Structure 1
Amino acid sequence: PTFSVNDVHSVLKTLDVNKACPPSDISPFILKNCRSSLTPHLTFIFNQSISTGTVPIQWKKANVVPIFKKGDRSNVKNYRPVSLLPCASKVMERCLFN
């Protein structure tokens, strides 16, 4: 598969700016509001990634954060792990899904 500029632009337009992202990542707010400038570059990166079969190493790293479920806060079993993935990798994943 290859991505068009319109594919990437439509995904960027629907980003939820309130979602968490890793501290070292570009915020979804910036990706969404600067989408006109970023779309051609992201489209190129996504298409290169698909054609070479490689994903940037930075996109494979996730911050795992414990989220409290219920019960006693001192019990480790009352937490669940949530992985915060880079926003660009989530955009590419959404483009693939669409």
Structure 2
Amino acid sequence: RHIREYDILGRWGGEEFMIVMRYATAEETYLKARFLRREIARMEVSGVAKITASFGVTTLHPADATQSLLKRVDEALYQAKHSGRNCVVQYSFQRDPV
């Protein structure tokens, strides 16, 4: 309901899920993650105090290998979880020093 019909949603680990958003910019993916985090926080589940979600976001570049993409998104998610949870962290590409 909140993702496009050609996006892919799947379980990635025990409590981790992944959304692959084709044809989306870095800004669009970040904004979608923020929207989903807020929607999840609004959910009410009987017997559960509060549901939260942490998101790691990155962008696939033409020269990327799958492993480098997964490493980046894992790093972003790790940062989100270790900076208080219930937030969105977008992977920041840093240039190597010249």
TM-score by length of 2: 0.26
Larger radius of gyration: 1
Identify which of structures 1 and 2 has the higher relative contact order when contacts are C-alpha pairs closer than 8 Å and 6+ apart. Answer: 1
